[in-house]
Amino acid sequence: MNSEKRCNGCGVLLQDENVLQEGYTTNLENDICQRCFRMKNYGDYQVITKSNDEYIKILEDVSKTKDLVLYITDLLNLEENIEEIRNIISNKMILVLNKKDVLPKSVKETKLINYLEEKNIKFEEVIVISVNKNYNIDYLLKRIKTYQTSKNVYVIGHTNAGKSSLINKLIKNYSDNSQELTMSPLPSTTLNTVSIQINDYLTLIDTPGLVDMGSILNRVSPEMVKKISPKKEIKPRTYQLRKNQSIIIEDLIRIDYVEGEKNSFTCFISNDLKVKRLLNLFNNEDLKDKNKTTYQMKYDEDLVINGLGFIKIVNKGVIDIYMDKEIDSFTRKSLI
Ligand SMILES: Nc1nc2c(ncn2[C@@H]2O[C@H](COP(=O)(O)OP(=O)(O)OP(=O)(O)O)[C@@H](O)[C@H]2O)c(=O)[nH]1
Ligand SMILES: [Mg+2]
């Protein structure tokens, strides 16, 4: 039977008929679906791939309201085109940069904020937080109160940015509500909008994330997703490379340094990922069957691999990178 009842964890409509379909539960009296139950209790993840059409529809609905929007993004995976979402909705918006805890402490917050302000995208404010470390959450709540236009505040952004985690933190810190949204290291955990009342003046609305098909997280096994997602502060790893030397990250990415002076490559990626350096790239063919992209790096730029992190390269030079063709990469002025 299909019910009108939605799962408290991910927003899907509950049903007790088809175990293979979204929203299945053995008993419609339950508050959450079986998938959420298994994620919460056993860390047993079941990946669902969402289409972005549904998501765009949700954003369009949000844009019909005049409500405040929190746009959550993962600091390690800042989108190349952060203005894309801004272009769909014109609501008042706070840009929230989450997961500050994974960046090395040496990274200055002002530098991150300046980097985004230079892009000249209209946000009421850019705020750096860490849900895991409970950092700046009080300040964020204050600013929500300043900018909110009604009780309702929407929480949007790409999958895995930490939207549901942030709402859970706000519930825990500031309300008696015992509802808990489902969170997981895999993309597309939240399946539909979920409203959570924090108090008489504030209701937060969680949304499914925008799926980034170019993210490495959509191209590797769940075990590798866990390895790629940093849990602790990243220890930057620096490699001094000369022309014709390489670095290889797990069996995922190969970066050949093919032209330029002696150079420094610093990896800002999860500490759990193995990095190997090749002293002579001609002696090793690993990953060379993958798709090749060539970049002319300018002075002090980052090579960003979507979903993985970035590599700061100090001097100008030419690099060839090899990885699955679906994974996006781009270069930017160094963030650090
Ligand atoms: N290191 C770190 N990890 C975080 C932080 N906030 C959330 N995460 C992790 O990020 C992953 C994704 O969190 P979710 O809250 O499920 O993200 P979401 O944006 O709701 O994702 P979807 O529902 O798939 O759109 C989980 O593994 C969280 O534990 C943070 O401040 N620091
Ligand atoms: Mg979520």
What pLDDT tens digit does each residue of the chain (336 aa) get? 656 899 999 999 999 999 989 999 999 999 999 999 998 888 887 777 777 888 888 899 999 999 999 999 999 988 888 888 888 899 999 999 999 999 998 888 998 888 888 888 889 999 999 999 999 999 999 999 999 999 999 999 998 999 999 999 999 999 988 889 989 888 888 888 999 999 999 999 999 988 888 999 989 998 999 999 999 999 999 999 999 999 999 999 999 999 999 999 999 999 999 999 999 999 999 999 999 999 999 999 999 999 999 999 999 999 999 999 999 999 999 988
Q: Please indicate, yes or no, whether the overall pTM of this predicted structure exceeds 0.95.
A: no
> Which residue, chain included where needed, has tokens 């300043």?
146
Atom number of ligand 1 nearest to Cα 131: 31
Cα–Cα dist 96/287, whole Å? 36
Residues 6+ away with beta carbon under 8 Å from 131: 98, 99, 137, 162, 165, 166, 169
CATH 3.40.50.300 maps onto the chain at 47-212
Domain 47-212 has CATH 2.40.30.10: no
Please tell me the predicted confidence (pLDDT) of residue 257. 98
**Closest ligand 1 atom to 183 CA:** 16
pLDDT the model gives residue 120: 82
Q: Residue 3: what pLDDT?
A: 66
Rounded CA gap, 237 and 228, in Å? 15
- Which residue minimizes the CA distance to atom 9 of ligand 1? 162
Angle at 161 between CA 189 and CA 219, to 5 degrees: 65
- Going from the Cα of 168 to the center of ligand 1, the distance in angstroms, rounded, reads 11
DSSP code at position 7:
-
Three-class secondary structure of residue 122 per DSSP: coil
184 in contact with ligand 1, CB cutoff 6 A: yes
Question: How close is the Cα of 207 to the center of ligand 2, in Å?
Answer: 7
Rg for the chain (alpha carbons), in Å?
A: 21
207 Cβ inside 6 Å of ligand 1: no
pLDDT of residue 326: 95
For residue 1, what pLDDT is reported?
62
**CA 165 / ligand 1 centre spacing (Å):** 6
Residue of 278, 307, 304, 279 lying closest to 293 (CA atoms): 304
Count CB atoms within 10 A of the CB of residue 220.
20
Q: In this structure, which residue's CA is closest to atom 7 in ligand 1?
A: 162
Pocket of ligand 1 contains residue 192 by CB under 6 Å: no
